[in-house]
Chains A and B, each alone.
Chain A
Amino acid sequence: MDEARWRRMSWLSVVLPGAPQLLVGGRSAGAVAAAAWVGALALLIVRGERVLPIGHGPGEWVAIGVLGLCLIIPWWWSIRDARRGGGARNPARYGLVGALGSDRWAMTGFAAVTGAYVVVLLAPLLAPFDPLFQGDLVTQRLLAPSATHLLGTDQVGRDVLSRLLYGGRSSLFIASFAVAVSVTLGTVLGAVSGYLGKTADAVLMRFVDVVIAFPSLVLLITMVAFFERTWLLLVLVLGLTQWPPIARIVRAEVLSLKERDFVLASRGLGYSTPRIVLRHLLPHVVPSVIVAATLGVGNTIVLEAGLSFLGLGAGVTSWGAMIADGRSAFLGAWWLSVFPGLSIVLTVLAFNLVGDGLRNATDPRTTPFRSHG
Chain B
Amino acid sequence: MIPMILGRVALMVPLTLGVATAVFAVLAAAPGDPATLLLRPGVSPEAAERIREVYCLGCPLAERYLRWLGALASGDLGWSFTHARPVADVLLSALPGTLLLAGSALVLAFTLGTAAGVVQAVRHRSLLDRGLGAASLVFYSVPSFWLAVMLVVVFSYGARNVWSWPVWFPASGSRGLDHELLGPWSALMDTAWHMVLPVAALTLVMGAGVARYVRTSMLEVLGQDYVRTARAKGLPERHVVLRHALRNGLVPVVTLLGLHLPLLLSGAVFVEVVFAWPGMGRTMVDAVLTRDYPVVMAASVLFAVVVLVGNLVADVLHAVVDPRVGDG
Contacts and interface: CB of A to CB of B under 8 A. Distances in A.
Contact of A221 (B145, B259, B285): B285
Interface stretch (B15-23, B64-72, B73-81, B193-201): B15-23
Contact of A213 (B146, B223, B311): B311
Nearest to B261: A215
- Mostly, the A contact residues are helix
A218 B26 CA distance: 12
Interface in A211-242: 212-219, 221-223, 225-228
A217 B137 CA distance: 22
Given A225-B289, A226-B26, A227-B30, A210 B15 contact: yes
Closest 3 CB pairs of A and B: A226-B30, A217-B266, A341-B146
Given A221-B285, A226-B31, A228-B31, A215 B219 contact: no
Interface in B269-322: 269-270, 273-274, 284-285, 288-289, 291, 296, 299-300, 303-304, 307-308, 311
B256 interface: no
A298 B138 CA distance: 12
Interface in B1-59: 15, 18-19, 22-23, 26-27, 30-32
A214 B220 contact: no
A352 B137 contact: yes
A338 to B, nearest CB: 8
Contacts of A334: 153
Contacts of B145: 305-306, 309, 323
A368 interface: yes
Contacts of A214: 19, 22, 262, 303-304, 307
Contact of B18 (A210, A309, A345, A352): A210
B150 A341 contact: yes
Given A215-B266, A221-B284, A226-B27, A344 B303 contact: no
Given A330-B153, A365-B220, 8 more contacts: A215-B262, A216-B262, A219-B300, A310-B270, A310-B273, A311-B289, A331-B157, A334-B153
A175 B150 CA distance: 24
A349 B311 CA distance: 29
Contacts of B289: 225, 311
B251 interface: no
Contacts of B259: 212
A228 B144 CA distance: 26
Nearest to A237: B26
Contacts, number: 150
Interface in A305-342: 305-306, 309-312, 320, 323, 327, 330-331, 334, 337-338, 341
17 contacts: A213-B15, A213-B307, A214-B22, A215-B265, A215-B307, A216-B262, A218-B303, A221-B284, A226-B288, A305-B146, A306-B266, A309-B145, A312-B288, A341-B143, A366-B216, A368-B124, A371-B124
Interface string A104-119: 0000000000000000
Interface string B234-250: 00000000000000000
B83 interface: no
A331 B150 CA distance: 11
A191 B146 CA distance: 37
Q: Give chain B's interface residue range (CB within 8 Å of chain A).
A: 35 or more
Given A214-B19, A217-B265, A218-B299, A323 B146 contact: yes
Chain A CB within 10 A, most for which of B122, B157, B285? B285
B257 interface: no
Contacts of A312: 288
Interface string B214-225: 001001101100
Q: Give chain A's interface residue range (CB within 8 Å of chain B).
A: 35 or more
Nearest to B18: A210
A345 B140 CA distance: 9
Contact of B223 (A217, A310, A341, A368): A368
A18 to B, nearest CB: 29
A71 B124 CA distance: 43
B216 to A, nearest CB: 5
A348 interface: yes
A209 B8 CA distance: 13
Given A213-B308, A370-B223, A352 B15 contact: no
A225 B300 CA distance: 13
A221 B146 contact: no
B126 interface: yes
Contact of B300 (A222, A228, A338): A222
A210 B307 CA distance: 11
B187 to A, nearest CB: 29
A373 interface: yes
Contacts of A352: 137, 140-141
Interface in A178-233: 209-210, 212-219, 221-223, 225-228
A372 interface: yes
Given A222-B27, A298-B141, A215 B150 contact: no
Contact of B22 (A219, A305, A310): A219
